[in-house]
Copies of this chain bind each other. A is one copy, B any other.
Amino acid sequence: MEIINRELIDFKERKFPEEICFRPIGIIHTPFKKLKGIPIQSSMSDIKGIIEIFHEYQLGLKDLQGFSHLYCLYFFDMVKLPVPLQSKPFLDNEVKGVFAIRTPFRPNPIGLSILEINGIKENKIEVNNVDILDETPILDIKPYASQFDNFKTTKIGWLKGKIKKKIS
């Protein structure tokens, strides 16, 4: 059934949520079968993978093939909570705040990768530059566009001078 209306809750019913629950919309298939050896950023990877969108969401893929890149949001399902609020990132030896690093060990273990779209067949998106563990649950796919998403950073904090290709 195609839902026609986009509905909002009533402002009077708005209440700050204690818990927010999602259901995966798909799963990603990649050559990374274990946690060691995964590129630490998608910009450092040339590995291919396949995002399989579950059939119930397949209609949502219409028009995505026109884009060269997508944002993939996913769940780091191997992470046990709670996590430390400060820890060492891959690219430095000093402890940093979790919101200043990209570690999977986050209070809400949500991953974000920008992937190149190689093609879409039915419910499967072939992607390039994958940095994601095989069989990771997918939460959302959004189109990526340089015009919206390329901000020029003037400061990159502790990362300055430390960026290099690395695997986990």
Contact among B22, B96, B153 with A19 in the assembled complex (CB-CB below 8 Å): B22
Report the copy number of this chain in the oligomer: 2
A19 / chain B contacts, CB cutoff of 8 Å: 21-23
A23 with B97: in contact, given A17-B77, A78-B14 (CB under 8 Å)? Answer: no
A101 / chain B contacts, CB cutoff of 8 Å: 63, 143
Contact among B23, B79, B144, B149 with A18 in the assembled complex (CB-CB below 8 Å): B23
We find that the number of chain A residues with CB closer than 8 angstroms to chain B is 93
Residue with the greatest number of chain B CB neighbours at <10 A, chosen from A78, A99, A149: A99
Question: Roughly how many angstroms separate A3 CA and B86 CA in the complex, as a whole number?
Answer: 9
Question: Roughly how many angstroms separate A80 CA and B152 CA in the complex, as a whole number?
Answer: 35
List A residues at the B interface (Cβ < 8 Å): 2-9, 11, 14, 16-25, 27, 34-35, 41, 43, 53, 57, 59-71, 73, 75, 77-80, 82-87, 95-103, 105-108, 110, 112, 114, 116, 135, 137, 139-159, 163
